[in-house]
Structure 1
Amino acid sequence: MGSSGGKIVIFTALLLEYRAVRGQMEDLQRLDHEAGTIFERGRIPGTSWEVYITQVGQGNQTAAIMTERAIRMIAPEAVFFTGIAGGLKHDLVLGDVVVATRVFAYHGGKQEESFKARPETWQASHRLEQTARYVARDPQWAAGQHPSGQDGPEVHFKPIAAGEVVVNAPTSTLHDLLDEHYNGVAAIETEGAGFAGAASMSDQVPALVIRGISDRADGSKQHTDSGGFQQLAANNAAAMTVAVIKALAPSRAAKIPGPTGQATSKLGLLSGDEPVSAQLEELLPVAWRRKLLPSWSNQGATLEVHLVPERSLRLPMRQMSQLKEGLVSVGRKEKVFTPSEAVASALEADFVATFARDQRRGSVGLAISQSGQRSCWEPLPSPSRIHIPVLDPEHTKERVEGLLRLLLRLQEVPQTRYAPALAIDPAETLTVTSLKSAANSNSVSLARGGRSGPVQIIPQELWDAADISAAAPTIAEELTLRLMLHFRNSGDGWNF
């Protein structure tokens, strides 16, 4: 079956959820995974998307396995998990829909004298969430789901919690935990964390969880289930999911036929082609590290890498506050920070940062500005034999390539273009040579003769977000060559 809009996968846990989605599709065909998972492939009337649906059963572990399996097999442009959930807020009416702005895996923590929550969290795809908000502004999105003249369900954009327990009691230890540590959570379910985590680890595939409220998680579940609210909630969640897909414009990453009949890759490139950039027409402002954290500018030579968005994204302060904790978790997971070192966070009006400052290792950190700029930094290596930082072009190129990919993993990447930037700051005390040479030498010359100030390689090119990971070697080589050119032109007498 051909499609010009790309592929989408919808996951459900229960049969009634699956039927609610399936009932809005046509031209269904069976597709079997080699491990036995059965998908149905079809289309939603009025769209060009190729849509796959499957029922994964209950539980986060199963959801994670099935999500990873589907992403590998189908290579979708977006994935959705739709179904029912228990409501935790009084302003939610049975049948209302919750679009998860963030998913909390709430069982993570450490029990000492008191419980200390350590949740894993995943942010909703910006592109999918924005599409859902666009859909929700039109009261006709659920047309056909309810009798004429009857109000459709409200759509709430709030966090949800996902664990391994079906909650159905008015009071419990679990209720107390959720109220104390996850008070902003609107609904609770048992698959979203596994789904969101697997999508995040599969090259940041855009993912969104959409749930209909079928009960209040307060002991009344048997009554509400017998009253038909499970079916109502499943139908409303499915209708919202379908409405989002109908409104979702295929991104530049969609597979489309090439001029010779070949299909382009998910990056929008013909097989074997290299990603291409566009020249900046005007300079983009960069929030360099010394601007974010000015008191740190007197530390040893530090490499910093930035991705500056073509247009300001203006992240809401609510999201910035959530990122404050999220960056710490990502930093430890990505080994930016060692397991034992103390990590601090800062939330300011225009940026959020997490960092460690070790007297021997130097400064390392991550930051996201309110405009959407992504930044990371780490010290240049300092071999013990010479005791000063070394700028090795090959090592620098490798680190810039790795840090560019790290920046893409900090959170869901909005579908816009980014301009890479690079700096060494401060740069008055370092040497330019290979690490191998430095390790075998007893003396080296300073690269800039004691002159102070940073070396900043300003952005010159724009890259599509979807292309940056594949183009990372090219971008890293370009930035490193420009950096080396600066040192050659500064009269340091070093040849490369």
Structure 2
Amino acid sequence: MRSPSGKIVVFTALPLEYRAVRSHVTGLQRVDHEAGTIFEHGRIPETNWEVYLAQVGQGNQGAAILTERAIQMIRPDAVFFTGIAGGMKHDLALGDVVVATRVFAYHGGKQEGTFKTRPETWQASHRLEQAARFAALDPRWARAPLPAGREAPEVHFKPIAAGEVVVNAQASALQELLDEHYNGVAAIETEGAGFAGAASLADQVPALVIRGISDRADGSKQQTDTGGFQLIAADNAAALTIAVVKALPSPGATKAELQSSRSDTVDAPPIAALIGQQLKEPMPVTWRTKLLPPRSSESATLEVHLIAEDSPWLPLRQMNQLKDKLVSLGRSEAFFTATEEVSSVLEADFAAAYARDPRSGRSVGLLITRSGQLSCWESLPRSTRLHMPVLDPKHTQERVADLLRLLLRLHDDIPHTRFAPALAIDPADMLTVMSLEAARSSTSATLARSGRGGAVQITPDEIWDAANVGAAVPTIAEELTLRLMQHF
């Protein structure tokens, strides 16, 4: 499971939709993804939420790719798609807002004598939908966010349809298809299916589509656009999105409530359980580069290992099953992106799933050996300004904790034993040490190791009981990161 991040991403398709959301966010700063996508990062007033904004353009494919990209980079607690749509119901007024309880991708089907629909569908996040219903209960929800003098619109909780066609005709074959097979939908648009599908693949990151009705999808679009209803609908959708975020528990409160809840219902582990046992000699570890030699294009890569003590040799038939599990686990945890090609291999001594991008130098993978070693790795984040990987101590500690939790999802496949954690960066000669925030604005940096090559490896010399290692993850991540930073 993901650790709470206190971050939210809001996507829009059109510039006017983007500006409508942007007007509610303060302290905006530009954040560049390594592939070129530009985000803006700021805060929503009166909340503890950080918000990232992105404009994806029209179409489901672009929405899917950039949604997956944002989830991978930002690792948000929730994602929203906000903007305008065509209304499909007579009881919807122009400017009303539709919260999508379900998103239909209506273009799927099979053409025989007749067209037989095969739609994909995604349910709205229950948590976000409940927050939206709560926000909409108070008729004053839009008073502050909306321009002065504008009344709050009606909010409808109904399904929407998303395809690749802008519908603006009262009578057409597409309208007949929608009326016959998707009669319950309230609005139609062109990005929600890609967005919802990508969020669902990323371990079902909570997602919600909010749309303002700018036209009636009946041939009158030119008149309604000229009448300013696009701007009105975009403002209304943005205002409700902000109200929904404000209705969510603040990130700080959520963590406190979870801790309080756990202390009331689960016995806290004893202090001794959070202290590892020092080994007389480090356990042997097979580093990543010994099993899957890196390509010359790969940049500095963080690798995390859990070494199982006295684990029986795993049979090859089990390894073959684990090979497929590594791919599905990586996809569900958004460790592998929704669009990248993942290679899976079964060798005599290990099974692995990994992805490599020679253009960016990105390398990411999961591996399990027949001796019970669990391993994963990912490239350090890169600065587009500095053109080199960045080792941010705070970010690294957070990622080490996340990667340990990811490996623990596999530990049920290893007979209950004890685990010794290990850590490395390889190669470690071309990187800089600074915060990611500083790297985004800096144009110069110093090599971290003054030209010294080779890997930096923290050997597994502490061991933890399998039953306690999960509770001890923050402690282990802090210890490993501190020891790592001593080498830089």
TM-score range, shorter chain: 0.5 to 0.7
Work out whether residues 48 and 252 of structure 2, in 8 Å CA contact, stay in contact via their aligned partners in 1.
no
- Any unmatched runs of 5+ in structure 1? 257-266, 269-275, 282-391, 410-466, 480-496
Question: What amino acid maps onto 1:170 in structure 2?
Answer: Q
1:142 paired residue number: 142
Q: How is 1:105-120 mapped onto 2 (pairs within 5 angstroms)?
A: 105-120=105-120
Deviation at 1:67, TM superposition (A): 0.7
2:242 paired residue number: 242
Q: Which runs of 4+ in 1 moved over 3 A?
A: 144-151, 250-256, 276-281, 467-479
Residue 54 (1) aligns with residue 28 (2) = no
Work out whether residues 161 and 185 of structure 1, in 8 Å CA contact, stay in contact via their aligned partners in 2.
yes
Q: Structure 1: how far apart are the matches of 2:414 and 2:137? A: 45
2:211 paired residue number: 211
Work out whether residues 87 and 216 of structure 1, in 8 Å CA contact, stay in contact via their aligned partners in 2.
yes
Deviation at 1:280, TM superposition (A): 7.7
Deviation at 1:472, TM superposition (A): 4.0
Work out whether residues 5 and 76 of structure 2, in 8 Å CA contact, stay in contact via their aligned partners in 1.
no
Q: Percent of pairs identical after alignment?
A: 69
Deviation at 1:113, TM superposition (A): 1.3
2:162 paired residue number: 162
Question: What amino acid maps onto 1:222 in structure 2?
Answer: Q
1:89 paired residue number: 89
Question: What amino acid maps onto 2:12 in structure 1?
Answer: T
Q: How is 1:193-208 mapped onto 2 (pairs within 5 angstroms)?
A: 193-208=193-208
Change (3 A) 1:471 1:182: farther
Residue 229 (1) aligns with residue 229 (2) = yes
Deviation at 1:218, TM superposition (A): 0.3
2:181 paired residue number: 181
Q: Structure 1: how far apart are the matches of 2:67 and 2:146? A: 31
Aligned residues: 294
Name the TM-score, length of structure 1 as normaliser. 0.53
Deviation at 1:209, TM superposition (A): 0.5
Question: What amino acid maps onto 2:230 in structure 1?
Answer: Q
Deviation at 1:156, TM superposition (A): 0.7
1:125 paired residue number: 125
Higher deviation after alignment, 143-152 or 170-179: 143-152
**Cα deviation 1:259-297 (Å, max 9, x = unaligned):** xxxxxxxx99xxxxxxx999789xxxxxxxxxxxxxxxx
Name the TM-score, length of structure 2 as normaliser. 0.54
Work out whether residues 105 and 162 of structure 2, in 8 Å CA contact, stay in contact via their aligned partners in 1.
yes
Change (3 A) 1:33 1:254: farther
Deviation at 1:477, TM superposition (A): 6.8
SS at match of 1:141: coil
SS at match of 1:57: coil
Deviation at 1:100, TM superposition (A): 0.6
Change (3 A) 1:253 1:203: farther
SS at match of 2:34: coil
1:99 paired residue number: 99
**Cα deviation 1:360-382 (Å, max 9, x = unaligned):** xxxxxxxxxxxxxxxxxxxxxxx
The CA RMSD over aligned residues, in Å, is 3.9
Q: Structure 2: how far apart are the matches of 1:14 and 1:90? A: 25
Question: What amino acid maps onto 2:73 in structure 1?
Answer: M
Change (3 A) 1:51 1:145: closer
Change (3 A) 1:253 1:68: farther
Q: Structure 1: how far apart are the matches of 2:147 and 2:196? A: 34
Q: Structure 1: how far apart are the matches of 2:10 and 2:231? A: 18
Change (3 A) 1:70 1:94: same
Work out whether residues 48 and 251 of structure 2, in 8 Å CA contact, stay in contact via their aligned partners in 1.
no
Question: What amino acid maps onto 2:139 in structure 1?
Answer: P
1:67 paired residue number: 67
1:6 paired residue number: 6
Work out whether residues 100 and 124 of structure 1, in 8 Å CA contact, stay in contact via their aligned partners in 2.
yes
Work out whether residues 21 and 238 of structure 2, in 8 Å CA contact, stay in contact via their aligned partners in 1.
yes
Change (3 A) 1:230 1:148: closer
Higher deviation after alignment, 469-478 or 122-131: 469-478
Change (3 A) 1:69 1:255: farther
2:41 paired residue number: 41
Deviation at 1:150, TM superposition (A): 6.1
Work out whether residues 97 and 236 of structure 2, in 8 Å CA contact, stay in contact via their aligned partners in 1.
yes
**Cα deviation 1:362-418 (Å, max 9, x = unaligned):** xxxxxxxxxxxxxxxxxxxxxxxxxxxxxx9x969x79x969x89x97xxxxxxxxx
Work out whether residues 103 and 196 of structure 1, in 8 Å CA contact, stay in contact via their aligned partners in 2.
yes
- Any unmatched runs of 5+ in structure 2? 268-314, 333-403, 417-488
Work out whether residues 47 and 250 of structure 2, in 8 Å CA contact, stay in contact via their aligned partners in 1.
no
Work out whether residues 6 and 254 of structure 1, in 8 Å CA contact, stay in contact via their aligned partners in 2.
no
Question: What amino acid maps onto 1:182 in structure 2?
Answer: Y
Q: Structure 2: how far apart are the matches of 1:75 and 1:280? A: 28
SS at match of 2:140: helix
Q: How is 1:258-407 mapped onto 2 (pairs within 5 angstroms)?
A: none
